[in-house]
Structure 1
Amino acid sequence: MSLLYVACGIVAGFLGALLGLGGGIIITPMLTLAFGLDIKYAIGASVISVIATSSGASIAYLKDDLLNLRVAMFLEIATTIGAIVGALLTGIFAPQILYVFFGALLLFSAYNMAKKILFIKKDHLYQGPVSKTVARLNLNGRYYDKQEQREISYELTHLTGGFSMMFGAGIASGLLGIGSGAFKVLAMDTIMKMPLKPSSATSNLMMGVTAAASATIYLFNGSIQPLIAGPIAIGVLVGASVGTRVMPRLKARTLRMLFVPVLLYLGVQMVVKGMGWLN
């Protein structure tokens, strides 16, 4: 079983680092559906996997100058508070509700990614009015795109909307034991108009901080089992290190196309099980 957990972690770490969605979005459905674990222990293991994904990916993205550290630290104010609130709410909800809620999150993520694939052929940088708050906080940035082989500068907007979305992402993270990277990437890529690659890289850093804020609560309520979380964390670190080498060399459109079918399949399975349609 330990070897299977390691393999599960490698897959989750690779996909998590690649798209900034966190290993937890794969770990929780996989442990509950494939291994038949209680969702309480699956969530505990996924919290640790999110921290491992973040640790493995953030170092590489920081070296490549892909992640925006100032944006991450500013938005973590909202996600950390939300994560603590979400973790405190876990005892209130029945497991079936968690299944449905988690599945709905996956399907929502798939919908947003599919919409960009179908209707947006090429990502465009924001070229609207300069936000005084963004400029004052020095949140705009630049990165070198290895796929396009050029440096890209970008400006951010709608800081309030992104901050509000991050608070909701924090609640989802604490409630479901995931990095809620789907909401984080959505907030930065769609609302704040940050390009997908730095959004993904910045999301990876933020997920670890958010998960760490709620990990203590899961540790004390017995949800984290070392024999499950340990092997998964090892696999996640390996997978994340590979994912960080692949992601900068892919097109943003390719990144979205890779993950939509995975999100759809897992989302449907979780909703079906939560609704009691499967034994």
Structure 2
Amino acid sequence: MIGLFLASGIAAGILGAILGLGGGIIVTPFLTLALGIDIKYAIGASVISVIATSSGASIAYLKDDLLNLRVAMFLEIATTLGAIVGALLTGIFAPDVLYIFFGSLLLFSAYNMVKKLIGRSKEVRYQGPVSPLVTRLQLNGSYYDKQEKKTISYQLTNLTGGFSMMFGAGIASGLLGIGSGAFKVLAMDTIMKMPLKPSSATSNLMMGVTAAASATIYFFNGSIQPTIAAPLAIGVLIGSTIGTRIMQKLKTKTIRFIFVPILLYLGIQMVIKGFGGI
């Protein structure tokens, strides 16, 4: 079982680092659906794996100047508050409700990725009016795209919408034990118009902070089992280091394409399991 936890952690870490969705979006369904582990302990282990994903990926992305540290710190205010609220709500919902909610989150993420794939063949950066608040907080940035071999500058917009979405992402993280990277990437990429690669990198950093805010609550309520969480965390840390290198070599469209079938399959399975217990 330890070897299985380690291997699944590596796979989750690679995918989490590439897509900015966190290892939890793979770990929780795998532990519950494939191994039959109680969702309470699966969520506890998932929280630890999210922190491991963030630690491994953020170091590499920060070194390569891909993540936007100012944006992360600004939006983390909303996600941290949301994570604490979400963790406090876990005792209110029955496991079946968590399955349905988590499955719906996966399907929602898949839907948004499909829209991106169908809607445009390449990234369209925001070129509208410059927000005074964005300028004051110095949130605009640039990064070197290793796949396109050029430096790409970008500017952001709609901070209010992005901040609101991040609060919802924090609640989802605390409630389900995931990094809620799907919402984080959606907020930055779709609402605030940050390109997908820095959105993914910045999401990886934020996930760790959000998960850490709720990890203490999970620890004291007995949801974190070291025999499950420890090998998963080691695997995720290894996988996330590998994933950061892979992501920078991929096309943006390829990154979106990779995860759609995985999200659809896991989302449908979780929803079916949830409704089956009602």
TM range (shorter): over 0.9
Q: Which aligned segments of 4 or more residues in structure 1 are displaced greater than 4 angstroms?
A: none
Secondary structure of the 1:143 match is: strand
Question: For structure 2, which runs of at least 5 residues remain unmatched after alignment?
Answer: none
1:28 aligned partner: 28
Say if 2:83 is the partner of 1:122. no
Secondary structure of the 2:151 match is: strand
Deviation at 1:118, TM superposition (A): 1.1
Secondary structure of the 1:219 match is: helix
1:187-226 mapped onto 2 (5 Å cutoff):
187-226=187-226
Secondary structure of the 2:248 match is: helix
**Counterpart Cα distance in 2 of 1:143 and 1:49:** 27
- 2:69 maps to a residue whose letter is L
2:160 aligned partner: 160
**Counterpart Cα distance in 1 of 2:217 and 2:5:** 23
**CA deviations over 1:200-249 (Å, ceiling 9, x no partner):** 00000000000000000000000000000000000001110110000011
Deviation at 1:154, TM superposition (A): 0.2
- 1:47 maps to a residue whose letter is V
2:43 aligned partner: 43
**CA deviations over 1:12-52 (Å, ceiling 9, x no partner):** 00000000000000000000000000000000000000000
Secondary structure of the 1:249 match is: coil
Deviation at 1:119, TM superposition (A): 1.5
**What's the RMSD between the two structures over aligned residues?**
0.8
2:110 aligned partner: 110
1:10 aligned partner: 10
**Counterpart Cα distance in 1 of 2:190 and 2:251:** 17
**Counterpart Cα distance in 2 of 1:234 and 1:276:** 33
TM-score, normalization: structure 2?
0.99
- 1:129 maps to a residue whose letter is P
1:99 aligned partner: 99
1:44-83 mapped onto 2 (5 Å cutoff):
44-83=44-83
TM-score, normalization: structure 1?
0.99
**Counterpart Cα distance in 2 of 1:187 and 1:107:** 17
Deviation at 1:277, TM superposition (A): 6.8
Deviation at 1:199, TM superposition (A): 0.1
Question: For structure 1, which runs of at least 5 residues remain unmatched after alignment?
Answer: none
Q: How many residues align?
A: 278
Question: Are 2:96 and 2:277, in contact at CA under 8 Å, matched by a contact in 1?
Answer: no
- 2:159 maps to a residue whose letter is L
**Counterpart Cα distance in 1 of 2:129 and 2:71:** 19
